Amino acid sequence: MSPSFEEFCEVVKRLNKTNAEKALAILWFYDQEQNDVAKSAGELAKVLRDHHVGTPNQTALNAAIKRTKLVNESRRGFSLRPGSRRIIRDWLPDLVGMQPSMDHASGYLPDAVWRNTRGYIEAVCRELNGCFRYAYYNAAAVMLRRLLETLIIEAYEHLGRENEIKNVGGNYLMLSDLAERACGEKGHRGLHLGRDSKKALKEVRDVGNWSAHARRFLANAGDLTKFQPGMRLLVQELIQIADLVKKIP
């Protein structure tokens, strides 16, 4: 189980760090929940005070955070630079349930593809990248399988065609049948995916199913990298079809 925000604040309180660094640790926690989240110096100062982590002056905190060179600043506030996540994670002790820091921009599925979609989709993509980064390839394949099931269902729901992917009991089909319908096979209308996306979907369907259900199959890096470019294209297409990217005002 991941630490609660209150538990995390207790950890930050004990760090031998400045107020600015503690504020960045808090921002890092929020960033784990919502990639590229932005918080103002005032918001971070309030969190530090409310949770008895520190009593910073808002103006001084604002200037000190800028001096760290670990953030980008916009009208929304401060957000973490990609390379800063690992730096901040290294300040923290190992906590049960806390994901290790990694640069998702260079992950199996770069965060530029799935950022600003839905929280549960972003969470699956982070786990996918983490599994692949640390060579848990069967787990990565299963996360790919779960991601595609989710995105295909989201696409059909957005189009108002979800009945096409349900069984007689009203439950959504598994990936094998979802892929068949999404690719327009056996007379189904399909989602009008590109040729490379269809190819990637069929390949990952097999590897994901084997990793989940074939007791003698063990996935390796090559099983996943062979369709990695097509997978990126497929996920982008499904996200666009499902209109999942949040509109930022």
Q: Is the pLDDT of residue 129 over 60?
A: yes
Among candidate residues 45, 80, 99, the one where a domain is terminated = 99
Which residues have C-beta within 8 Å of that of residue 104, sequence separation ≥ 6?
A: 35, 82, 110, 111, 125, 126, 129
| Model pLDDT, residue 213 | 86
From residue 108, give the alpha-carbon distance in Å to each of 111, 192, 224. Answer: 9, 25, 9
Residue 182 and residue 234 in one domain: yes
Name 79's bridge partners.
72
Q: Is the pLDDT of residue 111 over 60?
A: yes
In sequence order, which ranges of the chain are alpha helices (DSSP H)? 5-13, 19-33, 41-50, 58-67, 84-89, 111-114, 119-133, 137-158, 175-182, 195-213, 221-225, 228-241
22: domain CATH number is: 1.10.10
Name 78's bridge partners.
39, 73
Owner of token pair 């959504």: 172
Q: Is the pLDDT of residue 35 over 70?
A: yes
Q: Is the pLDDT of residue 101 over 70?
A: no
| Model pLDDT, residue 85 | 87
pLDDT digits (tens, 9 = 90+) for 235-245: 999 999 999 99
Residue 93 and residue 112 in one domain: no
pLDDT digits (tens, 9 = 90+) for 131-184: 998 899 999 999 999 999 999 999 999 999 999 999 999 999 999 999 999 999
Q: Beta strand pairing status for 71-74 and 77-80?
A: antiparallel
Residue 49 and residue 12 in one domain: yes
Q: Is the pLDDT of residue 247 over 80?
A: no
Residue 149 and residue 202 in one domain: yes
pTM of the model: 0.67
| Model pLDDT, residue 206 | 85
Q: How does residue 1 score in pLDDT terms, banded at 50, 70 and 90?
A: very low
162: domain CATH number is: 1.20.120
Q: Is the pLDDT of residue 2 over 70?
A: no
* Amino acid identity for residue 212 in this structure: A
> For the CA atoms of 49, 5, 85, 33, what is the dihedral angle to 10 degrees?
-120
Among candidate residues 99, 133, 160, the one where a domain is terminated = 99
Residue 43 and residue 162 in one domain: no
Residue 68 and residue 119 in one domain: no
Among candidate residues 99, 122, 145, the one where a domain is terminated = 99
Q: Which range of residues forms the domain containing residue 141?
A: 105-241
Q: Is the pLDDT of residue 102 over 70?
A: yes
Q: Which two tokens stand for residue 20?
A: 């600015």
248 domain residue, yes or no? no
pLDDT digits (tens, 9 = 90+) for 197-234: 999 998 888 888 888 888 889 999 999 999 999 999 99
Residue 194 and residue 226 in one domain: yes
From residue 136, give the alpha-carbon distance in Å to each of 1, 92, 130, 140, 220. Answer: 20, 24, 8, 6, 8
Residue 141 and residue 89 in one domain: no
Which residues have C-beta within 8 Å of that of residue 220, sequence separation ≥ 6?
A: 137
246 domain residue, yes or no? no
Residue 176 and residue 60 in one domain: no
